């Protein structure tokens, strides 16, 4: 299966100036973590602004299946009554994470620290993604992998450790999912679990663990890395979590506002954690007008209002060390680069090959089918911008929400309409993308 049972095609076309003020949905990374830490806490966690996309709803269901009480109390408002660290109950059915690598991998970490057995499964996209990178450290901590497909792919059975062992683990790639899985397993281990990363990845797990009462210390390691030490056998206490708007979702209307002439769009409450703002840095280097105001924070996560105005963009070189802070944004950056004058070189994109789809190939294909000159050289993506995009292509989304949204953004300023073969997967991360874009003036049909 390469797409949904009933694919929904959609076409986007040249649109008038985009204008208005919006709040994109809650951050996906923080939403998953709030549910999982709530479930591992003693007492009640109240979450506001939760992303009610399919990925996060699957994590909510898995927490319920593992014994936590998870309840929706209003729009984007959720309550979790946790079972405490190590307290998960044996689930009676496989845990289905749908399209979500983050939900699946973080919950693997949490399960690895409990004496239970769980079966992990997902859709065709998730079943094709590598899980060895998570299983390797969890096995060092005492968990055991039962039945699995080759390369440790889903569906797989994980036996959690009765007596989890704290480890010192150097992540082989900059991945917040690997780091988080080890830390979540380490919550139940005696002593200190340490994760060392050569390039710092998003630190929402660390910030939220602190917010829930864990003892966790993060220090710099080398030029761009971090060393994170978590004291295990922690007692987490239910907390209040306010989920800021997701910068990775805001990325789509932000780029749309930049490329559609005359646009002026304001985004409220966008999370501006520096480990997530590589796209904003890059767009500003390209000449984008993005103003920040009302800067504030909650539970260690900064947020701001962003005002974005249509701008003439120029090509830039994006260094590889910036990749972890914008790993989900390269698709839409490639769209912005197509409308820029000059060449944009994005370096060090090997991790894009193992996302919801092979995003390196899929991004190049999206651009090519719409008449943009693009090349993959090793792990680099090189886009020759000429100030305009011919368009007219049909883009294959490969069960990947971000390809669908990027292609629809491209069509808003391309010479001819751009069609996507399936918008279904947009619901995994940004269920209101289409109506929200229409409310700003986007023409989809
Ligand atoms: C995420 C980490 C990133 C990112 C994903 C969300 C997270 O994946 O691509 O969308 O919430 O931890 P990797 O850890 O594989 O880089």
Three-class HEC string of 166-197: CCEEECCCCCHHHHHHHHHHHCCCCCEEEEEE
Residues recognised as catalytic: 328
Confidence (pLDDT) at 273: 98
Average pLDDT of span 48-69: 98
Tell me whether strands 168-170 and 192-197 are parallel, antiparallel or unpaired.
parallel
User: What domains can you pick out in the chain, each with its CATH number?
Assistant: 10-26+246-444 (3.65.10.10), 28-242 (3.65.10.10)
Q: Over 90: is that where the pLDDT of 373 sits?
A: yes
Confidence bin at 3 (pLDDT 50/70/90):
low
Residues in a beta bridge with 264: 19, 309
- In whole angstroms, what is the distance from residue 44 CA to residue 79 CA? 7
Q: Which residue has the tokens 């409310």?
A: 439
Residues in a beta bridge with 193: 230
Confidence (pLDDT) at 227: 98
Confidence (pLDDT) at 2: 47
Ligand 1 pocket test target in 102, 110, 199 with most atoms within 8 Å of CB: 102
Closest-CA residue to 28 (of 73, 58, 5) = 58
Closest-CA residue to 276 (of 299, 314, 244, 298) = 244
CA–centroid distance, 155 to ligand 1, in Å, is: 20
| Atom number in ligand 1 closest to CA 354 | 15
Average pLDDT of span 146-158: 94
**154-204 residue pLDDT tens:** 999 999 999 999 999 999 999 999 999 999 999 999 999 999 999 999 999
CA angle at 403 for the pair 328 and 63, rounded to the nearest 5°: 60
Confidence bin at 211 (pLDDT 50/70/90):
very high
Cβ-proximal residues to 74 (8 Å cutoff; 6+ apart), any chain: none
Q: Over 60: is that where the pLDDT of 68 sits?
A: yes
Give the closest residue (by CA) to ligand 1 atom 10: 328
CA–centroid distance, 105 to ligand 1, in Å, is: 10
DSSP 121-136: E--HHHHTS--HHHHH
DSSP 50-89: ---SHHHHHHHHHHHHTT-EEEEEETTEEEEE---TT-PP
139 and 165 Cβ atoms separated by less than 8 Å: no
- In whole angstroms, what is the distance from residue 290 CA to residue 309 CA? 7
- 421 vs 14, 338, 366, 403, CA distance in Å? 19, 21, 11, 10
How many CB atoms sit inside 10 A of residue 225's CB? 17
| Atom number in ligand 1 closest to CA 351 | 16
| Atom number in ligand 1 closest to CA 173 | 16
Q: Is 292 helix (H, G, I), strand (E, B) or coil?
A: strand
Confidence (pLDDT) at 299: 74
Q: Which residue has the higher pLDDT, 16 or 380?
A: 380
CA–centroid distance, 327 to ligand 1, in Å, is: 8
| Share of residues in the chain with pLDDT > 90 (%) | 96
| Atom number in ligand 1 closest to CA 355 | 9
Closest-CA residue to 258 (of 286, 295, 294, 293) = 286
Average pLDDT of span 259-276: 98
CA–centroid distance, 439 to ligand 1, in Å, is: 29
141-147, long-range: CB within 8 Å, 24+ apart, which pairs? 141/112, 141/113, 141/165, 141/166, 141/167, 141/182, 141/185, 141/186, 141/189, 141/193, 142/112, 143/111, 143/112, 143/185, 146/117
Confidence bin at 1 (pLDDT 50/70/90):
very low
CA–centroid distance, 417 to ligand 1, in Å, is: 31
The answer to whether the Cα torsion of 385, 390, 394, 400 is positive or negative is positive
Q: Over 70: is that where the pLDDT of 249 sits?
A: yes
CA–centroid distance, 19 to ligand 1, in Å, is: 31
Ligand 1 pocket test target in 172, 174, 201, 401 with most atoms within 8 Å of CB: 201
Give the closest residue (by CA) to ligand 1 atom 16: 175
CA–centroid distance, 108 to ligand 1, in Å, is: 14
Share the mean pLDDT of the chain: 97
Cβ-proximal residues to 404 (8 Å cutoff; 6+ apart), any chain: 395, 397, 420, 422, 423, 425, 426
Closest-CA residue to 409 (of 12, 9, 10, 8) = 12
- 96 vs 61, 91, 175, CA distance in Å? 9, 11, 22
| Atom number in ligand 1 closest to CA 202 | 12
The enclosing H or E element of 281 equals helix 278-285
Question: Whats the size of the chain, residue-wise?
Answer: 445
CA dihedral 254, 59, 274, 264 (to 10 degrees): 10
Average pLDDT of span 304-329: 98
- 201 vs 215, 225, 431, 436, CA distance in Å? 20, 8, 26, 30
Q: What are φ and ψ of residue 341, in 5° steps?
A: -90, 125
Q: Over 70: is that where the pLDDT of 423 sits?
A: yes
Confidence (pLDDT) at 297: 86
Q: Which two tokens stand for residue 208?
A: 């939220």
Give the closest residue (by CA) to ligand 1 atom 5: 102
Give the closest residue (by CA) to ligand 1 atom 15: 175
- In whole angstroms, what is the distance from residue 60 CA to residue 97 CA? 10
- For ligand 1, which residues put their CB under 6 angstroms from it? 29, 102, 175-177, 180, 201-202, 327-328, 351
CA dihedral 243, 398, 101, 245 (to 10 degrees): -10
H helices of 295-432, in order, are 330-339, 359-368, 401-411
- In whole angstroms, what is the distance from residue 255 CA to residue 344 CA? 15
| pTM to 2 decimal places | 0.97
Confidence bin at 63 (pLDDT 50/70/90):
very high
Give the closest residue (by CA) to ligand 1 atom 13: 175
């Amino acid at each position: 299966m390469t797409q949904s049972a009933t694919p929904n095609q959609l076409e986007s076309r040249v649109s008038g100036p985009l204008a208005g003020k919006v709040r994109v949905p809650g951050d996906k990374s923080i939403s998953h973590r709030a549910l999982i830490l709530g479930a591992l806490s003693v007492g009640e966690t109240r979450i506001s602004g939760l992303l009610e996309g399919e990925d996060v709803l699957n994590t909510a269901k898995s927490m319920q299946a593992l014994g936590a009480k998870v309840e929706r109390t209003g729009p984007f408002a959720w309550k979790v009554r946790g079972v405490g660290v190590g307290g998960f109950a044996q689930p009676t059915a496989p845990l289905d994470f749908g399209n979500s690598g983050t939900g699946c991998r973080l919950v693997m970490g949490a399960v690895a620290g409990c004496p239970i057995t769980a079966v992990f499964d997902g859709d065709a996209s998730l079943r094709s993604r590598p899980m060895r990178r998570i299983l390797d450290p969890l096995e060092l901590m005492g968990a055991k992998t039962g039945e699995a497909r080759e390369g440790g792919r889903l569906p797989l059975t994980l036996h959690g450790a009765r007596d989890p062992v704290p480890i010192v683990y150097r992540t082989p790639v900059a991945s917040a999912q690997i780091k988080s899985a080890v830390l979540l397993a380490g919550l139940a281990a005696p002593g200190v679990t340490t994760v060392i990363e050569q390039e710092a990845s998003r630190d929402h797990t660390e910030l939220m663990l602190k917010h829930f009462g864990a003892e966790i210390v993060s220090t710099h390691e080398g030029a761009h890395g971090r060393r994170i030490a978590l004291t295990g056998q922690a007692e987490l206490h239910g907390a209040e979590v306010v989920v800021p708007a997701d910068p990775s979702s805001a990325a789509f209307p932000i780029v749309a506002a930049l490329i559609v002439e005359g646009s002026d769009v304001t985004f409220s409450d966008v999370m501006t954690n520096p480990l997530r703002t590589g796209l904003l840095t890059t767009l500003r280097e390209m000449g984008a007008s993005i103003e920040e105001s009302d800067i504030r924070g909650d539970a260690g996560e900064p947020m701001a209002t962003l005002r974005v105005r249509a701008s003439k963009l120029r090509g830039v070189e994006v260094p590889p060390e910036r990749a972890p802070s914008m790993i989900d944004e390269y698709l839409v950056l490639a769209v912005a680069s197509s409308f820029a004058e000059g060449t944009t070189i994005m370096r060090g994109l090997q991790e894009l090959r193992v996302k919801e789809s092979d995003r390196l190939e899929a991004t190049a294909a999206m651009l090519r089918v719409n008449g943009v000159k693009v090349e993959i050289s090793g792990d680099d993506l090189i886009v020759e911008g000429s100030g305009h995009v011919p368009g007219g292509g049909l883009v294959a989304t490969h069960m990947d929400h971000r390809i669908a949204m990027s292609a629809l953004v491209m069509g808003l300023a391309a010479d001819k309409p751009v069609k996507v073969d399936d918008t279904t997967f947009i619901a995994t991360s940004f269920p209101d993308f289409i109506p929200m874009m229409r409310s700003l003036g986007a023409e989809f049909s």
